[in-house]
Amino acid sequence: MQTRSSPSTQTLHRLAAEANIPNYDKLSKDTIYMKLKQKFDIERLLRTDARHSRLEKLYEQKKRKHDDCESAEGTSQKVDNTSSSCSSTKKSSSSSRQSTKFNVIDPIMHVKVDPKKSFKFVRSNGFTVCFNIDSLVEYMLSTGDFSDPETRIPFTDSELKLIDETAKKKGFQKDSVVDAKMNVDKYSELKFRRDALLALERCAGEVITDMLDIVENYEPDEAQMQLVMREFPTFLDYFKQLRDADASYASTCNSHWRQFMQGPPNKPNVDEYGLIHVVCHFLKSCEDGVY
């Protein structure tokens, strides 16, 4: 049984929500624990959760100190020295708030945040992050992922409504993210297609890894036979499916695979028998449609 060694039910529910496990509140504690352990790296989730908890405690401590100072200032206005001390503390706190710096780079598009179209989002740990509102809305509408792009914590319905209102105020004519979230069928199909493309890419990528291993470790005659008889036909089958589904994505993947075969510019892979050149020529032919 995992009951003694696993976290509390409340903690498991919080981790399950972050991992987007559907209907986790209807699952048993052991079932949630096993899902998180086997599929979502529970140790990493626990470390992230602990870090957020520490940040929340620090934020609460700072807030409590500030509130205590303001309370003390209100009750001791008649005493000059005390009033002066609290006044200076209040000024330093105010200047500290004024000097608070937000991120200047949009976490999604990695461009400078435009103040005229920015959206400030306060996370549960008190940290504030700035997004370009158009980037944030486009990200959610195109991916069907209605969560914070950095923390992966789902936005609540009220937060999505605030995003809609901000986009409208900023003059962006975008579809409502609240309505989009309710369109389950559309994004289920989109997620299925995205997962299928990733699966094809991974399968083809494993073949590329095998090709490089053959080139580097097999004798030339045996390497050529393995490439021509096994690896090339297998890769071609995967790549055709990938290109038929999304030609642009397939072309980008193909370019990355050729770079992987050649190695980094400052330390290229050794091509003693010219087989890397042969593989790259084959990959380029696949991209050009010449088989």
Residue of 44 and 243 predicted with greater confidence:
243
Rounded alpha-carbon distances, angstroms, from residue 216 to 220, 225, 228: 9, 14, 16
pLDDT tens per residue across span 249-283: 999 999 999 999 999 989 999 888 899 999 999 99
Q: Which residue has the higher pLDDT, 133 or 33?
A: 133
With CA atoms as reference, report the closest residue to 146 among 158, 11, 24: 158
**Mean of the pLDDT values across residues 17-27?**
73
Higher pLDDT, 211 or 41: 211
**Could you tell me the sign of the dihedral formed by the alpha carbons of 177, 181, 186, 188, in that order?**
positive
Q: What is the largest CA-CA distance in the chain?
A: 96
Greater model confidence, 24 or 239 = 239
State the average pLDDT over residues 177-188: 83
Higher pLDDT residue, 94 or 230?
230
Among the listed residues 262, 21, 18, the one whose alpha carbon sits nearest the alpha carbon of residue 147: 18
Q: Which of 1, 6, 27 is nearest to 16 (CA)?
A: 27
Q: In the predicted model, is pLDDT for residue 87 greater than 70?
A: no
Q: Are 197 and 235 in contact (CB under 8 A)?
A: no
128-132/118-122 β-pairing: antiparallel
- pLDDT computed for residue 286 by the predictor: 94
Would you tell me how many other CB atoms lie within 10 Å of the CB of residue 42? 21
Share of the chain above pLDDT 90, in %: 40
Residue 26 has pLDDT above 60, yes or no: yes
* Amino acid at site 9: T
CA 141 to chain centre: 15
Residue 86 Cα to chain centre, angstroms: 44
pLDDT tens-place string over residues 91-116: 444 444 444 567 888 989 989 999 88
Q: Phi first, then psi: what are they for 163, rounded to 5°? A: -65, -40
Find the mean pLDDT for residues 228-250. 94
Which amino acid would we find at residue 83? S
Specify the pLDDT at position 97. 43
291 within 8 A of 235, measured Cβ to Cβ: no
Query: Which candidate, 133, 131, 134, places its Cα nearest to that of 110?
Result: 131
- What integer pLDDT is reported at residue 261 of this predicted model? 94
Reply yes or no on whether the pLDDT at 70 is more than 90: no
pLDDT surpasses 60 at 186: yes
User: Whose structure tokens read 């923390």?
Assistant: 151
Partner residues linked to 132 by β-bridges: 118
Taking 70 as the threshold, does the pLDDT of residue 4 lie above it? no
